[in-house]
């Protein structure tokens, strides 16, 4: 018997849809009944995580905790967050429920270890970087994490908000590709798409090194966990 997955989503909505679509694709199924039961709370009104971590806005912690409690009451056996930066508030979520929270950060960092990589480039939002989420995860695994310089990081954040607004056209794809290539040029052996909007436009086929999508990494962990029964 598989577990019921509770998804804390809406940050942003397109990234949540992408996670769900990839979850369906990754689940071995020959009929409807073979798929996982998934409960999704897609709430785009959760306060901006980047602003909160920078001290410029309210904490999303209470709303994220409320979503976790609601999903638990609805029957979720395990929780996931379809947003990297929101993991800065994982303690608020876990304290609100009695069911486990699978970490996108841990799943992604583990996925990066394949191939004995010692240096990876990380495309992460400001809040994720300020919170040190991937810095800690990779330091624990003895992997060097390279981040964009200040000017490129500003470009990345502007691009992320454009993607959130629906701009996933060629210009956005080329802009994300340039940012990823800049990390390759500094010696990154793989590029981590550590913001769930990044995989919406980043084509791994255009890079000289692998792209590790945080969305894909979480999907793989969820399928393995849920199907373990």
CATH code of the domain containing 36:
3.40.50.1860
pLDDT beneath 70: ranges in the chain: 1, 229
**Does residue 125 sit in the same domain as residue 88?**
no
**Does residue 141 sit in the same domain as residue 207?**
yes
**Does residue 113 sit in the same domain as residue 14?**
no
**Does residue 22 sit in the same domain as residue 63?**
yes
**Does residue 85 sit in the same domain as residue 133?**
no
What is the spatial distance between Cα 83 and Cα 105, in angstroms, rounded to a whole number?
10
Reduced to 3 states (helix: H, G, I; strand: E, B; else coil), residue 120 is strand
**Does residue 133 sit in the same domain as residue 92?**
no
> Dihedral sign, CA of 125, 203, 112, 25?
positive
User: What pTM did the predictor assign?
Assistant: 0.95
Residue 203: predicted pLDDT: 85
**Does residue 80 sit in the same domain as residue 110?**
no
**Does residue 221 sit in the same domain as residue 202?**
no
User: Among all residues, which ones are annotated catalytic?
Assistant: 83, 195
**Does residue 87 sit in the same domain as residue 183?**
no
What is the spatial distance between Cα 29 and Cα 186, in angstroms, rounded to a whole number?
42
Spatial CA neighbour of 190 closest among 174, 201, 204 = 204
Segments forming the whole domain that contains residue 170: 105-214
Q: Does a cis peptide bond (omega within 30 degrees of 0) precede residue 38?
A: no
Residue 204: predicted pLDDT: 83
What's the structural domain count of the chain?
Answer: 2
Residue 227: predicted pLDDT: 81
């Amino acid at each position: 018997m598989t577990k019921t997955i509770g998804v804390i989503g809406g940050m942003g909505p397109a990234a949540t849809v992408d996670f769900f679509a990839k979850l369906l694709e990754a689940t071995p199924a020959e009929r409807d009944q073979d798929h996982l039961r998934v409960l999704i709370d897609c709430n785009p009104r959760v306060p901006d995580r980047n602003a909160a971590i920078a001290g410029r806005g309210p904490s999303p912690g209470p709303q994220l905790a409320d979503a976790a409690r609601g999903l638990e009451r609805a029957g979720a056996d395990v929780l996931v967050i379809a947003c990297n930066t929101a993991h800065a508030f994982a303690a608020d979520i876990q304290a609100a429920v009695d069911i486990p929270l699978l970490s996108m950060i841990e799943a992604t960092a583990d996925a990066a270890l394949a191939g004995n990589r010692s240096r990876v480039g990380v495309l992460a939002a400001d809040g994720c970087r300020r919170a040190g989420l991937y810095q800690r995860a990779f330091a624990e695994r003895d992997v060097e994490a390279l981040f964009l310089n200040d000017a490129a990081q500003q470009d990345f954040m502007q691009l992320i908000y454009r993607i959130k607004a629906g701009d996933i056209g060629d210009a956005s794809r080329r802009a994300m590709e340039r940012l990823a290539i800049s990390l390759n040029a500094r010696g990154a052996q793989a590029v981590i798409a550590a913001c769930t909007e990044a995989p919406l436009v980043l084509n791994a086929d255009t890079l000289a090194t692998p792209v590790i999508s945080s969305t894909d990494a979480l999907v793989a962990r969820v399928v393995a966990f849920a199907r373990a029964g």
